[in-house]
Chains A and B, each alone.
Chain A
Amino acid sequence: MILTRAPLWRIYAGFAVLLVAFWLLASKTNYPVGAGFWLLVMALWAVAWFINMRLANSEPGSGVLKRFNAIAVPALFGVTLLFLWEFVVKGFGVPLVLLPAPSDIWAKLITSLPILRDDFVQTFLRAVLPGWAVGSLAGFITAILCDRVPFLKQGLLPLGNLVAALPMVGVAPIMVMWFGFDWQSKFAVVVIMTFFPMLVNAVTGLQAAGHLERDLMHSYGASWFGALLKLRLPAAMPFVFNALKINSTLALIGAIVAEFFGTPIVGMGFRISTEVGRLGLEMVWAEIAMAAIAGSAFYGAIALIERAVTFWHPSFRARPGRA
């Protein structure tokens, strides 16, 4: 094929043309549709698949282009999926109750921004973020205590390992009973859910420093605190950030699930369960989209901070093209 040898810029140009074609097809089509429409969709899909293969197998030389390529490949995959979703739902006339089309969800999303904002504030800013911070910090402090007191570590760590594998969302009804319907109970659930993963990971991380480095610290006559601050805490950071990432997902889940057990009339979990009851599926999907975006942004922010803090770690240092 000629296109396989085409220079990269032509592939990107094809990418742009494809997006326009998808957009035109999505906005101009009058449903219901005939066989020609499906042929067109299949053809566009094939082109998207081909461009994606070509992009994935290309080896761009310069750093900027390489990074752009690394984003373009999954982006094209996602966009294609989104448009196929739109075409299939609209084309086959899938009932709204089953699965709304992306365009319907978007329309609902931009018309109900105030509600979404209130839910976001209630669930994310009041329960998820503070709970995540407090739970992780408490787990971290307990881990340092465990490190200082070996007896505590031997006793608490096996229990912590056990509890970290337990379905902790189960405490949600108890917390709602104790702290009431408002955000306090969700905050408590998030604190409990995030505590143990951090404890287990941080304790492991505090043991991660090598013997050689520890001996060096010893020969410097460093105190326990000095060695902790200068050597073992930095060495523990990859583990701590691993826990922070795990916790970011857990926190969102904990807060939303806790809202199923009782809430004031605001919050993402509340909105999801009531709109499901009213079969307002576009609203549910709008909430899901918001949760996904907030969750991804949260995760991404932690990953960025991680990269800045643990820049020395092999997994970042050895990234090809950054040497």
Chain B
Amino acid sequence: MKTEARGSFVPVAAISLIILVIWYAMTVPMNAVVADSKIAAAGGGLANTIEVSWSLARPVLPAPHQVAIEFWNTVFGVAPWKVKSLVYHAWVTLSSTLLGFVLGTLLGIVLAVAIVHVRSLQKSLLPWIIASQTVPILAIAPMVIVVLGSVGLTGLLPKSLISMYLCFFPVTIGMVKGLNSPEPMQLDLMRTYHASAWDVLRKLRLPASVPFLFASLKVAIAIALVGAIVGELPTGAIAGIGARLLNGSYYGQTIQIWAALFAAAFMAATLVWFVGVADRVTARLMGARP
């Protein structure tokens, strides 16, 4: 795994560089609508074209360094509790993501345990759990927020509920698979010990399901973040990465949108990485050899 990662460093760097070059090149034609008059005013020529295209205040496509500067300024240049700080917005999104993630994981595990133990639930509930995911919940997220708001539930919880709805599905599916993963021989052994259903769950099924759980959690945490971001769209653009996106699109602040996007990407990557680390640590604690 390690050597593979090192072996792919050069290609990844090369592809990233190519993407960066294309991005810089694309800023010229993409921004032509806004920039043309300014370029003409500056006297034309390649140098002026690049100069103007890469430093517009409201570009159609901002240059990478503009995004980087905006990102740097809003992350490190402002105190993290100010509304202008990206860290503040990221924190708002992160907290509802994590709450939704925890709730969704718990719900997913409880449902999976119930499904594995009650046969009629497996046949009647599982198809509906699968069908529940064809409902574009993200699309109705705003409505859920508004409806919950009219009952008096505001703030963190409604957004978390959307993350939870998205989260529980991969966890349930993965855990049903994981809880059913012990082989018949192992289950038979438990039966010869006269183990109760609770003991079988605690000593055999749950430990066996851990790898499945972490595989699901990686999907769940990424999707929880999406849920939290979309959940922020209708709250009147107050706080959070989603609000930042919406605000940017209202006022044509493209650079701000891109910076928020990169913050979201960074958060997603970090969260998935954290789950990966937790996976490895748990595996080691449970006696797996690296």
Contacts and interface: CB of A to CB of B under 8 A. Distances in A.
B119 interface: yes
A85 interface: no
A74 B249 contact: no
Nearest to A153: B11
A169 B229 contact: yes
B143 interface: yes
B217 to A, nearest CB: 12
A152 B18 CA distance: 11
B242 to A, nearest CB: 8
Contact of A77 (B14, B125, B222, B241): B125
A291 interface: yes
B143 A167 contact: no
A73 B127 CA distance: 9
A257 B139 CA distance: 6
B264 interface: yes
Contacts, number: 158
Interface stretch (B47-55, B145-153, B195-203): B145-153
Interface string B118-149: 01101111111001011110111011001100
Interface string A258-299: 001110000011001100100001001000100110011011
A178 interface: yes
A162 B15 CA distance: 14
A52 B139 contact: no
B23 to A, nearest CB: 13
B252 A177 contact: yes
B269 A249 contact: no
B268 A166 contact: yes
A97 B150 CA distance: 8
Interface in A173-205: 173-174, 176-178
B215 to A, nearest CB: 13
A313 B283 CA distance: 31
Contact of A170 (B126, B139, B245): B245
B184 to A, nearest CB: 16
Interface residues of A, number: 58
A56 B12 contact: no
A256 B136 contact: yes
Interface stretch (B38-46, B77-85, B255-263): B255-263
A229 B214 CA distance: 36
A73 B151 CA distance: 35
Nearest to B13: A155
Contacts of B181: none
A204 to B, nearest CB: 14
B248 interface: yes
A269 B124 contact: no
Interface string B2-14: 0000011001111
Contacts of A52: 120, 124
A256 B139 contact: yes
A53 B260 CA distance: 50
Nearest to B228: A167
Contacts of A174: 254, 257-258, 261
Interface in B215-235: 218, 222, 225-226, 229-230, 233-234
B175 interface: no
Interface string B257-285: 11011001100110010000000000000
Contact of B143 (A76, A177, A272, A298): A272
B246 interface: yes
Contact of B124 (A76, A97, A169, A257): A76
Interface string A150-161: 011011111100
Contacts of B254: 174, 177
Contacts of A44: none
A57 interface: yes
Contact of B147 (A97, A291, A292): A97
A166 B133 contact: no
B138 A74 contact: no
Given A174-B254, A261-B249, A269 B11 contact: no
Contact of A257 (B60, B122, B128, B138): B138
Task: Return the 6 tightest CB-CB contacts between A and B, nearest first.
Answer: A155-B11, A155-B15, A173-B249, A256-B139, A56-B120, A77-B124
17 contacts: A55-B123, A56-B120, A57-B119, A74-B124, A98-B147, A156-B15, A157-B8, A167-B226, A167-B265, A169-B138, A169-B226, A169-B229, A177-B249, A252-B139, A272-B139, A276-B146, A292-B135
Interface of A: 52-53, 55-57, 70, 73-74, 76-78, 81, 97-99, 151-152, 154-159, 162, 165-167, 169-174, 176-178, 249, 252-253, 256-257, 260-262, 268-269, 272-273, 276, 281, 284, 288, 291-292, 295-296, 298-299
